[in-house]
């Protein structure tokens, strides 16, 4: 008889439970030392091992030959519990048996000693579904049960339990299982079942499981149906997911305001097997990843991404300002709500939402106004620095690209504005730039090559904001940052970020070699 994989590979001892070592170690110690509590409360999201640990604990307290707190799995008690035929282990689903009568029956049977095992174990799943009267009937029995009775309560919604119930139990919080632990478990099951599983596919399945082992194994079984190889393409096809490359294309089109491309992308989602609301959730999650990338230097602590996906994310995040991201997220959220309210209008809602994200002028919300103000500030900053030119080679400056506005290039014939240099004997105070994230964001929009060299440099700004010193230990970076186009880009980015004025003097130096032969200095006005 066929058995589902999540049942076939359900752990039978504490050491087989994945990702919950902080709980299994305590339960193993208590059973080994005989310090069994009268009531346990297992809480956590679905598929994290609550019911599994409850059954293992029921075996451990009744096992005839326990080994280091683990059930042997061979004695009559263990076999009876595994088979579900033990009369002293009662499992009840409170979702369907939530009335007070069921709890009264339990209260009446508690007085009788176990018929076969050492202890009678009551496992109440989804205990938060019990009625108020049922909770009240359970209170006294739960507080002072006979020594041969153990209650194990499991719930996915702890906040719905009365405080009086929680205070009478030993509480264990089951965490979401880490992505790598899920992937390793899937790889083990695939090896046992002789199914080829690509690591990228395992990562994607684990990501979709959202920390639940049962969901991960069920999705793997679905993708491996018919003995097919489980590849990333098959997982995306079976589960109706969008690839990271496709999400990047959508986000970049939104940043550029390319509505024609967006219409085509939405059409491709609608005409495929993918559900538009699922795609919308993925796009919202992608925007969340962008936000993490903009605020955190080390995204690996918060995002489970491959190196390639991290590179894609960093490339996309440079195209957005914070205020534009916040505006897009508010539109995505409102559109998701509208899709749930009117599922037959999903495509229309998505297209109108994309139009609003491409052009904030179509929206009168506070977020849209904030995004438009950010664009106007960028335009004003570009006007303020319109007279910037390079002394050695007056030329047209590199145009600035921003998510929704293109600044007009400075004419090549524009006259140079001469500003007196500060005397060489004048002492200036320079302070390091504490946060370069916004500067690097603007540099990514103007000159990606200069951005890469500037990311590892130390930047000092004078107190009056008119002088900038850039130090780097890379001689090649000094040469590249000293180019006319790079200095124009740096000056523009600093002006857009309100770090300096448009007449700042920029000096690029090599930190390791301070001699005149190895110093490249250039003044930009």
Q: Judge if 279 and 209 occupy the same domain.
A: no
Cα-Cα end-to-end distance for the chain: 81
Task: List, for the chain, all residue ranges whose pLDDT scores fall below the cut of 50.
Answer: 387-426, 513-525
The verdict on residue 525 lying in a domain is no
Strands 430-432 and 505-510, sheet pairing: unpaired
Q: Judge if 13 and 70 occupy the same domain.
A: yes
Q: Judge if 34 and 47 occupy the same domain.
A: yes
Contact assessment for residue 171 and residue 50, using Cβ atoms and an 8 Å cutoff: no
Q: Judge if 109 and 212 occupy the same domain.
A: no
Burial class (CB in 10 A: 0-12, 13-18, 19+), 226: exposed
Q: Judge if 355 and 475 occupy the same domain.
A: no
Q: Judge if 332 and 393 occupy the same domain.
A: no
pLDDT at 383: 58
pLDDT at 58: 92
Q: Judge if 217 and 278 occupy the same domain.
A: no
The verdict on residue 414 lying in a domain is no
Grouping H, G, I as helix, E, B as strand and the rest as coil, residue 219 is helix
Supply 148's token pair.
Answer: 């041969």
pTM (two decimals): 0.66
pLDDT at 166: 92
Contact assessment for residue 477 and residue 457, using Cβ atoms and an 8 Å cutoff: yes
Last residue of a domain, one of 140, 155, 174: 174
Q: Judge if 129 and 13 occupy the same domain.
A: yes
Strands 467-472 and 120-125, sheet pairing: unpaired
pLDDT at 264: 92
pLDDT at 145: 85
pLDDT at 239: 84
The verdict on residue 136 lying in a domain is yes
CATH of the domain at 93: 3.40.50.300
The vertex-161 CA angle with 157 and 163, nearest 5°, equals: 135
Separation of alpha carbons 193 and 126, rounded Å: 32
Enclosing H/E stretch for 184: helix 179-192
The vertex-439 CA angle with 437 and 444, nearest 5°, equals: 95
Number of structural domains in the chain: 4
Separation of alpha carbons 239 and 137, rounded Å: 44
Separation of alpha carbons 439 and 445, rounded Å: 10
CATH of the domain at 270: 1.20.272.10
Q: Judge if 326 and 273 occupy the same domain.
A: yes
pLDDT at 251: 92
Q: Judge if 190 and 164 occupy the same domain.
A: no
Burial class (CB in 10 A: 0-12, 13-18, 19+), 146: middle
The verdict on residue 200 lying in a domain is yes
CATH of the domain at 198: 1.10.8.60
Q: Judge if 140 and 10 occupy the same domain.
A: yes
Supply 396's token pair.
Answer: 């047209």
The verdict on residue 420 lying in a domain is no
Separation of alpha carbons 41 and 356, rounded Å: 48
DSSP class of residue 339 equals H
Q: Judge if 91 and 140 occupy the same domain.
A: yes
Last residue of a domain, one of 220, 239, 258: 239
Separation of alpha carbons 466 and 450, rounded Å: 21
Q: Which domain holds residue 508?
A: 385-398+428-518
The vertex-375 CA angle with 369 and 380, nearest 5°, equals: 120
pLDDT at 519: 41
The verdict on residue 413 lying in a domain is no
The verdict on residue 404 lying in a domain is no
Last residue of a domain, one of 127, 158, 174: 174
């Amino acid at each position: 008889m066929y058995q589902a994989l999540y049942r076939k590979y359900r752990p039978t001892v504490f050491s087989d439970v994945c990702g919950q070592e902080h709980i299994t170690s305590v339960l193993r110690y208590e059973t080994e030392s005989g310090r069994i509590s009268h009531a346990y409360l297992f809480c956590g999201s679905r598929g994290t091992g609550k019911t599994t640990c409850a059954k293992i604990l029921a075996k451990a307290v009744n096992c005839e030959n326990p080994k280091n707190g683990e059930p042997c799995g061979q004695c009559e008690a263990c076999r009876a519990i595994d088979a579900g035929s033990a009369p002293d282990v009662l499992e009840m689903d409170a979702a369907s048996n939530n009335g007070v009568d069921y709890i009264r029956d339990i209260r009446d049977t508690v007085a009788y000693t176990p018929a076969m095992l050492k202890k009678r174990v009551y496992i109440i799943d989804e205990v938060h579904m019990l009625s108020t009267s049922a909770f009240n009937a359970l209170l006294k029995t739960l507080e002072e049960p006979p020594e041969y009775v153990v209650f194990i309560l499991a719930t996915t919604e702890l906040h719905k339990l009365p405080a009086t119930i929680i205070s009478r139990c030993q509480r264990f919080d089951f965490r979401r299982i880490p992505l790598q632990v899920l992937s390793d478990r899937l790889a083990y099951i695939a090896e046992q079942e002789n199914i080829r599983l690509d690591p990228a596919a395992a990562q994607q399945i684990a990501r979709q499981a959202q920390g639940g082992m049962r969901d991960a194994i069920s999705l793997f079984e679905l993708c491996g149906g018919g003995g097919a190889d489980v590849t990333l393409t098959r997982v995306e096809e079976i589960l109706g997911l969008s690839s990271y490359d496709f999400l990047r294309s959508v986000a970049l089109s939104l940043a550029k305001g390319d509505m024609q491309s967006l219409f085509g992308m939405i059409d491709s989602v609608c005409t495929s097997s993918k559900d538009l609301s699922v795609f919308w959730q993925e796009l919202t999650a992608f925007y969340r990843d962008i936000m993490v990338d903009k605020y955190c230097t080390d995204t690996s602590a918060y995002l489970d991404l491959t190196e390639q996906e991290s590179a894609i994310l960093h490339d996309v995040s440079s195209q957005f300002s914070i205020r534009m991201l916040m505006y897009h997220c508010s539109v995505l959220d409102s559109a998701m709500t509208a899709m749930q309210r009117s599922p037959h209008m999903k495509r229309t809602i998505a297209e109108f939402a994309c139009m609003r994200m491409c052009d904030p002028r179509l929206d009168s919300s506070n977020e849209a106004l904030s995004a438009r103000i950010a664009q106007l500030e960028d335009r004003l900053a570009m006007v303020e620095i319109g007279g910037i030119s390079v002394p050695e080679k007056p030329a047209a400056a590199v145009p600035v690209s921003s998510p929704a506005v293109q600044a007009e290039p400075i004419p090549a014939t524009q006259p140079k504005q001469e500003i007196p240099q500060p005397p060489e004997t004048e002492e200036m105070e320079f302070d390091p730039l504490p946060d370069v994230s916004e500067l690097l964001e603007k540099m990514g929009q103007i000159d990606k090559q200069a951005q890469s060299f500037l990311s590892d440099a130390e930047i000092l700004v004078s107190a009056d904001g008119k002088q900038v010193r850039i130090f780097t230990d890379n001689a090649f970076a000094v040469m590249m940052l000293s180019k006319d186009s790079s200095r124009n880009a740096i000056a523009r980015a600093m002006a857009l970020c309100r770090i300096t004025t448009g007449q700042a003097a920029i000096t690029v130096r090599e930190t390791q070699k301070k001699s005149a032969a190895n110093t490249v200095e250039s003044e930009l006005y």
